[in-house]
Structures are given as C-alpha cells and as structure tokens.
Structure 1
Amino acid sequence: MSLRYSFAAVLRLLRHQKGLTQSDISNTVAQSHVSQLESAKTTATIDVSCELARAMRMQPGSLITLALACYGQRTPRELLTDVLAELEELELADVVLNHQQQPTKTPAMIDAERKRDAIRALKREGATQAEAARQLGLPEATLRRLWHQVSDS
C-alpha cells in the first residue's frame, strides 16, 4: 500500500477530530487539493504537509509521524522511540541543524587540512621546510606545496 493512503486516512482523522472542514484548512492549500489528498488521489509534498499541519494548529512532525505510524502499522510512540534512538546513534538528537547545505569534506580534504594546520604551527615556531618535512613525515614536494598554501598567522 502507498504511503499516500495512510496520509489520507490521518488527514481525514485529524480534520474530523478537530472539527474542521476542508475549507477551514485551505488557507494556503487549495480546497480541491485537500480533497485529492484525503481521497489519496495525489501525494503531499513536505511543504504541503507542513502547511496543512499549521492550518490544523499542530506540529508538522505530528502529522508526518502519524502518517508513517499508520503506514507501518505501529503506534506513534513506537515510531518516535525508534527515531530518537536512530538520531542518538547518529549523534544528531540534540543538534540544531543549519538549513543551508553544508559542504561535504572528503577524507582527503580533511587530511590535507590537518597537514596544513600542522605546517602552520611549525611555521609559527620558525621551522624550516626541511625540518617540517622530517617532523611530519611528508615528502618534500608535498610539504613545499602545502607550505605555500598556508599563511604565517
């Protein structure tokens, strides 16, 4: 079964439970679209889901959680417990995320950044390129290239 059937059932349930008509929740979503969503003729985007939840004066996460729980034949509490455990495993449960996409650093980029930091520290201490290459165990050509990439500050 498609998730849209679960979403439709939950949307109808919540709207009726709150005593609202389709028109009542059609502030930013057309009433005809609400009707199509409730009859599972179309699928809601995340934006539309958020707008509908706000129109029903509830958290968007509650609407989506209920739809996913219905789809998976689970209670919302079971689903949320698993979601929280997963977020904690990822160390994201207590992190406020920035909505702007973060650039992904490859392992090579991280390694190069670490090497530049070490070179920068050695430059501040007054080390020569040859001394830095020895201390860091880097080929001299690599050291020279990175040496000129870092500032002395």
Structure 2
Amino acid sequence: MLRQSKGNTQRSMASSLDQTTISKVESGKHSVTLDVSQKLAAALDLELTALIALTVSRDSNRTPREVLLASLAEIEALGLADTNQTSEPERKVPLNVSAARKKWQAVQELKRKGLTRGQAAKQLGMPESTLRRLWKQVSED
C-alpha cells in the first residue's frame, strides 16, 4: 500500500533491496530484520519509526498516532525521551577488575594512613601475600 501510494514499483525499489525480497515482504511470506526494515523505509523515503508505526497500526487495530503516542509515553516513563542514545553499548569494567581495583584502593588508603602491612592485612582480612603485592603496586593497572 505504501509503495503504491508513493508511485513506486518493486523494480524501482530494487536498488535498495532485492525485488524478490520486496515481493515476499508485501505478500507476507517473508519476515524482515531491522536492517531490511531500514532499507525498506529508505526506499519509501520514510523514517523507520513511521514504517514500524504503520505496520503496528495495521496489526493492532490502532491508528498510527495512537501507536506513536503510546511509544512516546513508554519512552518518557523510562526517562529517555530527550536523550540521545549512543550507537555503541557502554563498556563496563568486568567485575573481577572492579573488585581488584577496590582492593588496591583500600590497601593504598591504609598505607597513606600509616598502617603497617600486617595491620592493613588484618583490617582488610586478606592474606599478607596479596596485601604485599597490592602495597607495592604503583598504579591501578
């Protein structure tokens, strides 16, 4: 319906996608990934969200406006409506690295306070060999 309303033929859209894929999608014989949906939207000169809203609207007996407003309400409830989302996931420090960093910081803090290695090991409840290694370590590497 969208393709025809814009006056496009399957062949004219085939620069973005294979004509067979377009035919299968239109006949409901092929599911699409987000990447393919993005290419379809681009070929139709639409935002991907508009294409998805129109598709959801058709399948849910709601208007595209209702679909988009419901989506916006959900995004606002998450507190994300006015923030740009990064394309790469945030890199998190592995737990073992984080734990090691905390131990090192705790040892260095007690060292700055003037405690002996033995006192620091006892206070932190760690083996003296581990404490000795962390005591000598100069950076958090």
Equivalent position amino acid for 2:109 in 1: L
Tell me how far apart the structure 2 counterparts of residues 43 and 62 of structure 1 sit (CA, whole Å).
Answer: 18
Question: Following TM superposition, where does structure 1 have runs of at least 4 consecutive aligned residues deviating by more than 4 angstroms?
Answer: 103-106, 108-111, 123-127, 131-134
* Structure 2: gaps spanning 5 or more residues: none
Q: What does residue 82 of structure 1 align with?
A: 70
**What is the 5 A alignment of 1:2-151?**
13-93=1-81, 94-99=83-88, 101-103=89-91, 112=99, 115-116=102-103, 118-119=105-106, 122=109, 125-128=112-115, 130=119, 134=123, 138-141=124-127, 144=131, 147=134, 151=139
Question: Residues of 2 paired with 1:92 and 1:146: CA distance?
Answer: 44
Structure 2 contact 24–30 (Cα < 8 Å) conserved: yes
* Bigger mean CA deviation after superposition, 140-149 or 68-77: 140-149
Note the C-alpha offset of 1:117. Answer: 7.8
Q: SS at the partner of 1:29?
A: coil
Q: CA RMSD in A?
A: 3.7
Distance change in 2, residues 1:16/1:113 (3 Å): farther
Partner of 1:5: none
Percent identity at matched positions?
32
**Equivalent pair of 1:37/1:44 in contact (CA under 8 Å):** yes
Quote the Cα distance in structure 1 between the aligned partners of 2:112 and 2:7: 72
* Separation in structure 1 between the aligned mates of residue 62 and residue 133 of structure 2, nearest angstrom: 55
Aligned partner of 1:140: which letter?
A: M
TM-score, with structure 2 as normaliser: 0.69
- Who wins on radius of gyration, i.e. which is larger? 2
The one-letter code matched in structure 1 to 2:75 is L
Query: Cα deviations across residues 97-137 of structure 1 (Å, max 9, x unaligned)?
Result: 233x444568x669737835852772684554545974xxx
Where 1:140 maps in the other structure, the secondary structure is coil
* CA–CA distance in structure 1, aligned partners of residues 106 and 39 of structure 2: 52
Kindly state the Cα deviation for residue 30 of structure 1 after the two structures are TM-superposed.
1.3
Residues 132, 43 of structure 1: alpha-carbon distance in 2 compared, 3 angstrom cutoff: same
CA distance in 1 between counterparts of 2:35 and 2:63 reads 24
Number of residues of Structure 1 aligned to a counterpart in Structure 2:
136
Partner Cα distance (2:72, 2:6) in 1: 28
